[in-house]
Amino acid sequence: MTRMCYRYIKDESETMLVLNEGFLKIYRNIAQFEYRGEGGLTAWVKKVMLNEALGYLRKRKPLHVSSLDESSDLSWDYIALENLEAEYIFQAILSLPEGYRAVFNLSVIEGFSHKEIAEKLGIAESTSRSQLVQAKRRLQSILIKEICR
Partner 1 sequence: MKTLDDILREKVTSLDSMPELSWNEDDLWQTLQSELGYQNLKKSRGRTMLWSSIAAAVSIVTVVFIKVFIADPGATITYTHYVEDAETAMLDENEAGSDEGARELIESMCLSDLEICKTPEFIELKDQLDEVAEEIESLDQMIAMYGEDPALARSKTEIENFKSEIMYQLIQIITS
Q: Which spans of this chain sit near partner 1 (rule: CB under 8 A)?
A: 1-4, 6-7, 12, 16-17, 19-20, 23-24, 27, 74, 76, 78, 81-82, 84, 86-87, 89-90, 93, 107-109, 111, 136, 139
Which distant-in-sequence residues (6+ apart) come within 8 Å of 32 by Cβ?
none
Q: How far is the CB of 18 from partner 1 (least distance, A)?
A: 11
Q: How far is the CB of 90 from partner 1 (least distance, A)?
A: 6
Alpha-carbon torsion angle 104, 109, 115, 121, nearest 10: -60
Distance in angstroms (rounded) separating the CA atoms of residues 118 and 133: 15
Q: Could you give the count of Cα atoms lying within 13 Å of 1 in the half-sphere of its Cβ?
A: 22
Q: How far is the CB of 75 from partner 1 (least distance, A)?
A: 10
Q: How far is the CB of 118 from partner 1 (least distance, A)?
A: 18
Alpha-carbon torsion angle 127, 104, 91, 77, nearest 10: -110
C-beta of 23 vs 55, nearer to partner 1: 23
C-beta of 12 vs 34, nearer to partner 1: 12
C-beta of 22 vs 99, nearer to partner 1: 22
Residues 118 and 128 sit within 8 Å (Cβ to Cβ): yes
C-beta of 20 vs 62, nearer to partner 1: 20
